[in-house]
Structure 1
Amino acid sequence: MPALLPTAIVGSLPKPSWLAEPERLWSPWKLEGETLVEGKQDALRAVVQEQRRRGIDVLSDGEQTRQHFVTTFIEHLSGVDFEHRETVRIRDRYDADVPTVVGDVRRDHPVFVDDAAFLRTLTDQPIKWALPGPMTMVDTLADRHYGSREKLAWEFAGILNQEARELEAAGVDVIQFDEPAFNVFFDEVRDWGVAALERAAEGLRAETVVHICYGYGIKANTDWKASLGSEWRQYEQFFPLLQQSSIDTVSLEAQHSHVPVDLVELIRGKRVMLGAIDVATEQVETPEEVAAVLRDALRFVDAEKLVPSTNCGMAPLPRRVAQEKLSALAAGAAIVREELSSATA
């Protein structure tokens, strides 16, 4: 792995068409039983091979073994009823039918640990695993038991910490917590969101990442982004809190976004996982477009702390497009890496 600008993806990659319906979130599985288990492992093999072939340094599972980055974790917990679903407003911008909390939430068994252990057998490169963050979990279901988003978030934080510790023991090098809800509920982020996130990451030796984006490239998200004006300054609300937190790395989106890049200064000292690939378009970036975003960010983050990445997950994209975007990410990082090496030679 290169010492400078190691590349990584944020979360999902498109699943093969024989495993699930392409270009769709919450896509149902096409296989069942032991055949599904085998199919998921084959998909993991494929995404590891593809990331390596395309030049990605920190390898991910691409969320091949789960239907959704939040609900797949929740469905393995006790106290949550998936039969009696309710319609709630998610991230304050779109409605979805979600499961309901009906009792004390508990993790009775590991959720992703076996999958992560299998991923570990496929490569000697560093591996990263993503978990939903406590606030985003709360925002992706209905609560008929706790009556407090904060109290439920703290329960989830403890459960996530159990899972994260076992993922670390299974050989995961980087553990990422996805918190898109941070971009919406600023008062809650200040009151308890960052503290709950730190509880989820408590005691980990693995590198910890919090990923905060503007969402998948689906219509509800693109419509919302179109309403945010010429500058997206949401990160400004909580970056100072994250800069003071125990989280190692902050992941944000930059390619084709209206986030002022100087906001990265607010997390000075942290590692920055910078989104240099736009997941809301099928247009594949050129390596130079990727490099330009990275160069811009280097005015506000030390090169040793910059990790070129994607804006968000790529599950809704055509598989070929996502793969070509991986190549563009690696090629753009290589351009800037060479420039940095030449400057210090």
Structure 2
Amino acid sequence: MSTLLPTSTAGSLPKPAWLAEPEKLWSPWKLEGDELVEGKQDALRVAVQEQHRRGIDIVSDGEQTRQHFVTTFIEHLGGVDFEDRETVRIRDRYDASVPTIVGAVSREKPVFVDDAKFLRSQTDRPIKWALPGPMTMIDTLYDRYYGSREKLAWEFARILNEEAKELEAAGVDIIQFDEPAFNVFHDDVQDWGVATLERAAEGLSAETAVHICYGYGIKANTDWKATLGPEWRQYEKSFPLLQQSTIDIVSLECQHSHVPMDLIELIRGKKVMLGAIDVASETIESPEEVADTLRKALQFVDADKLIPSTNCGMAPLPRKVALGKLSALAEGTALLRAELPA
């Protein structure tokens, strides 16, 4: 990738109001059948257009074709019962009704490959596709079959690797694994979390990324953040492990959070997808504010390894706000590019 400081997004963009209820996670579709298929493609096309128009260099699907970043993948797997549901605590933070593992998990056919091919047909820019990471998948289910979080994680890692290889063949340049659970289950991250993540990314030629954030801007997450004190040092646990891993890019939250910037030093040598846009606020950052955040990060990451991004997905935000934030990200990055030697 020749662009210095290529901009990207960490995850979702708001869906159009005609496709799903706005500003809501797990929002049900407003269309069905062939109309839903067509509507999802139209929404994806618009998401790409807006990213082009607003100066995003690494384009994603904005998760327009899926209801949720974890459960939509799980819905397509064998061994999971969506009728038999249990209430579980998600990331030790909030309760949710989730499906149940009732047998050996399997991937009977590709999940996102057709959508990725459609994304590839819509842009000449590099594209990124996000998959849920093994640990975060486990945390969004109730297990009646394996009796071991680790055993289930290895099974999911194998399935994710199958999907990732087909996404790569469909033309995806960066495959991102979303692992917000890495900020919560620190012992598991050390014992098997990074190892199963590496298994999910095994044998890929595409670049690989892991996204670890403090969550969407929903009340359960903002309430949890309020308990974390003046400094959020959770990355201190996972970053040294990731620095030694085979993963190419580490995506992290930074803007308006209490993450000490110098923790980025712990992943020196990796590419850093730096969250310079706050997804928990409807205030649109100024380009100068974005540039300042990125400028500070350059103390700890070389410019050729910095990818300006958002803290997390923006699905719960008003669409106008999210698009304004994309423009601010690109404009702020352009300010900083102009300061750097050519």
C-alpha distance after superposition, 1:96-152 (max 9, x if no partner): 000000000000000000000011001111000000000000000000000000000
2:85 is paired with a residue whose SS is: strand
- Structure-1 separation of matches of 2:123 and 2:89: 40
Aligned to 2:179: 179
2:172 is paired with a residue whose SS is: coil
- Structure-2 separation of matches of 1:95 and 1:3: 42
2:83 is paired with a residue whose SS is: strand
- Structure-1 separation of matches of 2:238 and 2:306: 20
Residue 238 of structure 1: how far off its partner (Å): 1.2
Query: Is 1:278 the counterpart of 2:278 in the alignment?
Result: yes
Aligned to 1:67: 67
- Structure-1 separation of matches of 2:76 and 2:244: 33
Aligned to 1:135: 135
- Structure-2 separation of matches of 1:324 and 1:2: 26
Aligned to 1:205: 205
Aligned to 1:125: 125
- Structure-1 separation of matches of 2:302 and 2:3: 13
Query: Is 1:145 the counterpart of 2:145 in the alignment?
Result: yes
Compute the TM-score of the two structures, normalised by the length of structure 1. 0.98
Aligned to 2:220: 220
Query: Is 1:11 the counterpart of 2:11 in the alignment?
Result: yes
Compute the TM-score of the two structures, normalised by the length of structure 2. 0.99
Aligned to 2:242: 242
* Runs of 4+ more than 2 Å apart: none
Residue 2 of structure 1: how far off its partner (Å): 5.4
Aligned to 1:43: 43
Residue 226 of structure 1: how far off its partner (Å): 0.6
2:221 is paired with a residue whose SS is: helix
Aligned to 1:188: 188
Query: Is 1:32 the counterpart of 2:32 in the alignment?
Result: yes
- Structure-1 separation of matches of 2:115 and 2:94: 31
- Structure-2 separation of matches of 1:205 and 1:266: 25
Aligned to 2:329: 329
- What amino acid maps onto 2:219 in structure 1? K
- Structure-2 separation of matches of 1:5 and 1:129: 19
- Structure-2 separation of matches of 1:88 and 1:123: 40
- What amino acid maps onto 2:280 in structure 1? A
- Structure-2 separation of matches of 1:25 and 1:94: 14
- Structure-2 separation of matches of 1:243 and 1:162: 24
Aligned to 1:292: 292
C-alpha distance after superposition, 1:258-291 (max 9, x if no partner): 0000000000000000000000000000000000
- What amino acid maps onto 1:12 in structure 2? S
2:157 is paired with a residue whose SS is: helix
- Structure-2 separation of matches of 1:222 and 1:169: 38
Aligned to 1:232: 232
Aligned-residue Cα RMSD (Å) equals: 0.7
- Structure-2 separation of matches of 1:6 and 1:148: 40
Matched residue count:
342
- What amino acid maps onto 1:62 in structure 2? G
Aligned to 1:115: 115
- What amino acid maps onto 1:328 in structure 2? A
C-alpha distance after superposition, 1:63-101 (max 9, x if no partner): 000000000000000000000110000101100000000
C-alpha distance after superposition, 1:33-92 (max 9, x if no partner): 000000000001100000000000000000000000000000000000000110000101
- Structure-2 separation of matches of 1:334 and 1:151: 46
- Structure-1 separation of matches of 2:52 and 2:2: 13
Residue 3 of structure 1: how far off its partner (Å): 2.4
- What amino acid maps onto 2:260 in structure 1? P
In structure 2, runs of 5+ residues without a counterpart are none
Residue 340 of structure 1: how far off its partner (Å): 0.6
- What amino acid maps onto 2:294 in structure 1? L
- Aligned-residue sequence identity (percent) comes to 80
1:328 is paired with a residue whose SS is: helix
C-alpha distance after superposition, 1:301-327 (max 9, x if no partner): 000000000000000000000000000
2:293 is paired with a residue whose SS is: helix
1:238 is paired with a residue whose SS is: helix
- Structure-2 separation of matches of 1:32 and 1:4: 42
- What amino acid maps onto 1:197 in structure 2? L
1:15 is paired with a residue whose SS is: coil
1:102 is paired with a residue whose SS is: strand
In structure 1, runs of 5+ residues without a counterpart are none
Aligned to 2:95: 95
